[in-house]
Amino acid sequence: QQQVKQSPQSLIVQKGGIPIINCAYENTAFDYFPWYQQFPGKGPALLIAIRPDVSEKKEGRFTISFNKSAKQFSLHIMDSQPGDSATYFCAASRGSSNTGKLIFGQGTTLQVKP
Amino acid sequence: GAVVSQHPSRVICKSGTSVKIECRSLDFQATTMFWYRQFPKKSLMLMATSNEGSKATYEQGVEKDKFLINHASLTLSTLTVTSAHPEDSSFYICSARDGPGQPQHFGDGTRLSIL
């Protein structure tokens, strides 16, 4: 029940395309859903996050869609660029709890071809 | 803002030595810090959670005597890998947040290689 399942494992798109990465969770106590971007040899960087009281959040070219009833959320990258090539992780947590432990998805390696 | 600095970025040492990794929050006070381990092409695995001034809480299967965590101040946490062996070679990453409900910000990781 603590798992977050992420798909696909890898994704290749052409420049300008819209890659979509999906995540699903089981624990209805989760109330904070961030996405992280990680480049090789670096730590993850927070991209965008959403809480379950909204169904969509947009920041720049990144959009999170959230479906509370289906317990799913997804990341869309508009007008993708080669510089977006990285590994993306979704995560979930009980953000307001004292520990705030993040449960990470398995990761998606994105390649954006020029 | 919200910068987390991790040092060293890379360390290579002989089997049996102990290695200390530092994690600092540079522009905020980190009430909670987290330590993760990441294997190549894999996700992040939480090792332990530490609150300033308290003992760390370790995840199941993580040896607390092997991975010593200290969080003595609001800006510094350390992870010491004691008597390191080749199987401890990995990418260790810390993160920090400044309170409940706040996002975790990650350091750039430490690549540990034990020969």
- Identify which of A45, A100, A106 has the shortest CB distance to residue B97: A100
State how far the Cα of A43 lies from the Cα of B91, in Å rounded to an integer: 9
For the residues B73-81, what does the mean pLDDT come to? 94
Q: Report pLDDT for A94.
A: 85
Query: Which tokens go with B36?
Result: 């993760």
Q: Report pLDDT for B2.
A: 86
Cross-chain residue pair B49–A43, CB shorter than 8 Å: no
Closest residue in chain B to residue A88, using alpha carbons only: B43
Closest residue in chain A to residue B51, using alpha carbons only: A99
- Identify which of B42, B51, B107 has the shortest CB distance to residue A43: B107
Closest CA to A84 of A107, A109, A105, A63: A109
Residue B92 CA: distances (Å) to CA of B10, B48, B66: 10, 12, 14
Query: Is B36's pLDDT higher than 70?
Result: yes
Query: Is A95's pLDDT higher than 70?
Result: no
Query: Is A36's pLDDT higher than 80?
Result: yes
**B67 close to B59: Cβ distance less than 8 angstroms:** no
State how far the Cα of A108 lies from the Cα of A33, in Å rounded to an integer: 16
User: How would residue B53 be classed by pLDDT, with cut points 50, 70 and 90?
Assistant: confident
Cross-chain residue pair A34–B103, CB shorter than 8 Å: yes
Q: Is B43 on the interface with A (CB under 8 A)?
A: yes
Q: Report pLDDT for A97.
A: 63
State how far the Cα of A101 lies from the Cα of A12, in Å rounded to an integer: 31
Query: Is A112's pLDDT higher than 90?
Result: yes
For the residues B57-72, what does the mean pLDDT come to? 93
CA-based nearest distance A33→chain B, Å: 10
- Identify which of A46, A101, A106 has the shortest CB distance to residue B103: A46
Percent of chain A at pLDDT exceeding 90:
87
Residue B93 CB partners (closer than 8 Å, separation 6+): A43, A44, B6, B35, B36, B37, B38, B44, B106, B107, B108, B109, B110
Q: Report pLDDT for A99.
A: 67
3-state secondary structure of B70: strand
Torsion angles phi and psi, residue B86, rounded to 5: -50, -35
Query: Which tokens go with B96?
Result: 């920090």
Cross-chain residue pair A43–B103, CB shorter than 8 Å: no
User: For residue range A66-89, what is the model confidence (pLDDT) as tens digits?
Assistant: 999 999 999 999 999 999 999 999
State how far the Cα of A92 lies from the Cα of A76, in Å rounded to an integer: 17
DSSP 8-state assignment for residue A24: E
CA-based nearest distance A23→chain B, Å: 14
Phi-psi region of A43 (alpha: psi -120 to 50; beta: other; left: phi over 0): beta
